[in-house]
Amino acid sequence: MNIIVADDEKLALEGMMSTVIKAVPEARVHGYRQAEAVLEATRNMPEPVDVAFLDIEMRGMSGMELARKLMDIFPDINIVFVTGYSEYSLEALQIHASGYVMKPVTVEKIRKELEVLRHPVSTREDQGSKGLHIRTFGNFEVLIDNAPAVFKYQKTKELFAYLIDRRGSMCSNSEIISVLWEDDDDGKMHISYLKNIRTDLLNVLASCKMEDCVVRSRGEIGVRCDMISCDYFNFLDGKPGTEPFRGEYMTQYSWAEYTLASLLQLSEKGHN
């Protein structure tokens, strides 16, 4: 579990962090005294923030404002406000906070809040902490052991994205070239480049012993959906604990708009 704690008072921050660590000793706990420092640090973290314990009355940017910004970065973050005043409880409910802790903060209070989180953490960590996990809702991301995969070529990532989008259908070289280089009519010049990015993809997958999830035949390539942990696949299959679809899908790729339209229709019909 990845947790941040924010309080502009040094002693209060140290006390809060100590209490959280005692309540969940296995968690990764990060403390900050300034809201801007929270935002800068969380944008660069290799994994999403699961829970944020925020003091409401912080100097500069309030805890409420910080919470809204964090929710923009991490839609499934659990915000737990910490304060000595009950007057903020209604506002906390209005922004869909996960919890509200009155000072003095105790280990028991922290544990109770973590037991009733709005967005359960265990499912997300089980999916993304080890091995290969694909995120398609929002930007397309490939995670290996919960860290972004590093490809030699940018087109390698896009190739994998397209294969995921096709959900196991075998894709020909000509089809892939027309999609990845849609503005270029000279497909022949990209054949050797396509071979390079296919090799790059297999090498990256081999690093987590997942190269077998790619199926190859003469002039075609596809993926084995049953071997891949992916929010898109889970959503369509209606698996419990699936990451919610929030109207965004592979946002960096224009060709993904067709699938996005289908997902929006399913969402409107109450799928999942």
Domains of the chain: 2-119 (3.40.50.2300), 130-268 (1.10.10.10)
169-196: burial string, b at 16+ Cβ within 10 Å, e else: eebebeebbebbbeeeeeeeebeeebee
* Helix boundaries (H) for the chain: 10-23, 35-43, 63-73, 89-94, 107-115, 121-128, 154-165, 173-180, 191-206, 231-237, 257-268
Average pLDDT over residues 126-139: 75
User: What are 73-93's pLDDT values in tens digits?
Assistant: 888 899 999 887 666 555 555
For residue 72, give the 3-state DSSP assignment.
helix
Q: Residue 169: pLDDT above 80?
A: yes
Say yes or no to pLDDT of 126 above 50: no
Residue 134, φ and ψ in degrees, nearest 5: -110, 130
Mean pLDDT value across residues 3-8: 94
Give CA separation, 253 vs 71, 84, 212, in Å: 24, 47, 25
Give the tens place of pLDDT for each residue, 214-246. 999 888 999 999 889 999 998 898 875 566 788
**Quick one: what percent of the chain has pLDDT higher than 90?**
51
How far is residue 42's CA from residue 243's CA, in Å, rounded to a whole number?
Answer: 20
Predicted confidence at residue 186, as pLDDT, reads: 62
Among residues 152, 161, 166, 245, which one has the least CA distance to residue 207? 152
Side chain identity at residue 127, one-letter code? Q
pLDDT: which is higher, 185 or 136: 136
Beta strand 132-135 with 229-230: parallel, antiparallel or unpaired? parallel
- How far is the C-alpha of 199 from the C-alpha of 152, rounded, in Å? 10
pLDDT reported for residue 79? 92
Q: What is the pLDDT of residue 179?
A: 94
- CA 106, 112, 114, 119: dihedral to nearest 10 degrees? -140
pLDDT for the residue numbered 125 = 46
Give dist(CA 5, CA 32) in Å, integer.
Answer: 6
The band of 128, judged by pLDDT with boundaries at 50, 70 and 90, is very low
pLDDT reading at 149 higher than 60: yes
Q: Which of the pair, 244 or 250, is modelled with greater confidence?
A: 250
Tell me the per-residue pLDDT of 100-112, one tens digit each, with 9 for 90 and over.
Answer: 888 899 999 999 9
Closest CA to 166 of 67, 85, 268, 236: 236
Q: Higher confidence at residue 212 or residue 116?
A: 212
User: Is 80 exceeded by the pLDDT of residue 203?
Assistant: yes
What pTM was estimated for this model as a whole? 0.55
In sequence order, what are the residues at sequence separation of 6 or more whose Cβ sits closer than 8 angstroms to the Cβ of residue 215?
170, 221, 222, 223, 224
Average pLDDT, whole number, for the chain?
Answer: 86
**CA dist., res. 100 & res. 73, Å (int):** 21
Tokens of 205: 């997958």
Collapsed DSSP state (helix, strand, coil) of residue 44: coil
Q: Quick one: which of 52, 61, 55, 37 has its CA closest to 105?
A: 55
Residue 98's pLDDT band, with cuts at 50, 70 and 90, is: confident
Whether pLDDT at 122 is above 70: no
More confident position, 164 or 238: 164
Residue with tokens 């314990």: 53
CA triple 90-92-95, angle to 5 deg: 110
Note the pLDDT tens digit of each residue in 9-32. Answer: 999 999 999 999 999 887 889 999
